[in-house]
Chain A
């Protein structure tokens, strides 16, 4: 190298492949004398491959708009595993947790559960996650006779939650769909479209409308019916088994294409439940290939979509509602003596759908696996089959799941989930028997969730 250096000084006539000209000023620092020695771009070597990967990453980092970033991110199409949130595969929720690096915490997050006390006899209700405000307690002695209507709070302007009215709204929706409206017989294996589907739509739209006075985020929200949610990501590595690319080490690609029944999108993000770096449990490690679940590969467009395009101002998610199809109904599992898999269905639906939604929301904000999220993304979901409801809350802490980025990444995504509980026992003769207020209140809590400033 030294000899080369002096030879070059002796021969100032230009050697054309040196892009820098020899400067006339005396001895600049050695780092500027030569171009940086890096691997070649086109060679068939590991160094060249990593350099190509870095150039691609820089291209995505430098993309001007989010649409351009998404286009470059999903440009290369290769066979990928299709992950279905609603699946009959056994123990699918363990597999999905390992694919998405998610920790499952049973029960609801503590901030949501504690603060909200339902209005039973008297007392104003504090809202979820709110800073404590001077709130006048309604007088405990002025009980309303008979009906579950609560007395007016003393301070007047303090809103309280009328459980009786919400219960009657829910019962009306249920009765209309199942009893009062005369419909034709349900199509074969389409029982869910006949009654539970319309009931869920009615319930959510009326509840959201009546609670929008209380939650200004709902008043600015956007309600989608049958939206599509897609997400594409890499996790782990494998060796290509057959074909012209046999023997190469490839990332394992996944794609979720989800159809929630109903979805509420809002212009402001929900607040974080726990800090970004919290560790609430372990992610299951599964040593088998994903195809053993069973999961199957297909090659098609790599879509990332939250339900509407990037230009929509309502770009954060609030709540999704999923309806389980006939194929996954409880009686079928009981008949095949797989009772423990019933909850697995709800959990895998919650985890996969919410991961796809929150990750797609993060990508809409410009984050991706090389540029990890700087704030957690929180969304909620309700999975139901018409009668049994399960509630899920998901916090996305990291998008970095690829083989290189996961090495030094201590963050994990967190999913809180409950077991499925029935909303009512049976509908008979225009009456709803055994209505469960707990489930309704949890649903109301979900709908009232909002950022602290609002």
Chain B
């Protein structure tokens, strides 16, 4: 996607807000969570994924990126001893998402494998207040004339307008609310991986797709402004850099360019650690870089955990 998040914003009629929403930030700053003790465990998790996991010298990204994600999720899940409602979540891997919408007479569709999806039984409460939603009416969507907004999108003849995450899960599924999407850029070769900007755009599109499908399943296919906005979160990483995103769907009326817009909060390029050295680097008989994890940032994990706990705390 060419211009990255800006193009995705136009396509999904969204207003961007930098940083995390105050509700999530409140969870991060909440001292009752006991995030300090978890620091040690997170360091071990990172070391395990990056250094200790394999019998060879250093694991490759295809291995350490999913492994790091699994370790972090395991730490987050073990918090369900403290918050029993956390057990009402279920991870679904390899689920296919499909959503269609119209945008100024261009029919757009999002389809594909959307990484790992975490579902919960209860929806997340709307993050933005009523005034903020109404204030988005004045916001003008950025266009990038003369480049058409649909640049770099594949034009396809679609014979069936597939429309719901109900295609992914059957009716009656108890964990029906999409909570968080996880994207792991784990290709070994750098050119196969998405750059951070493109990753954020991909996260936005898929979060939007999931939210839209859920909205259509709940309220039907008519475009309108939603009284109960739907919130879907999204986390993307390549093993070191983390991108956090909270998306709130306020309206399914996407044909026109004005009116209430959707909102997205993005916290981008959070490093979990600076470097992970498997073998100490020695120059001229002096150890310049010792083996181990250096530059560990516990705040990134706090945000990860806050997004995980959002909705139950």
Contact = CB atoms under 8 A, between A and B. Distances in A.
B55 A205 contact: no
B61 to A, nearest CB: 16
Interface string A291-324: 0000000000001010011011110000000000
Contacts of B54: 228
A161 to B, nearest CB: 14
Contacts of B96: 182
A228 B55 contact: yes
A339 to B, nearest CB: 35
A135 interface: no
B172 A430 contact: yes
A172 B175 CA distance: 9
Given A305-B55, A308-B52, A213 B95 contact: no
Given A181-B168, A209-B87, A223-B70, A311 B82 contact: no
A176 B48 CA distance: 30
Contacts, number: 97
Contacts of A218: 78
Interface in B37-56: 41, 44-45, 47-48, 51-55
B226 interface: no
A169 B80 contact: no
Contacts of A220: 41
Nearest to B74: A223
A37 B47 CA distance: 52
Interface in B143-194: 167-170, 172-175
Interface string B84-104: 101100111111100000000
A206 B51 contact: no
B1 interface: no
Interface residues of A, number: 39
B67 interface: yes
Contacts of A314: 44, 48
B31 interface: no
Given A220-B41, A309-B51, A179 B170 contact: yes
Nearest to B291: A311
B268 interface: no
A182 B168 contact: yes
A57 interface: no
Interface of B: 41, 44-45, 47-48, 51-55, 66-67, 70-71, 73-74, 77-78, 80-82, 84, 86-87, 90-96, 167-170, 172-175
Given A176-B175, A223-B71, 9 more contacts: A172-B90, A172-B175, A180-B170, A182-B170, A202-B91, A209-B74, A218-B78, A222-B44, A312-B44
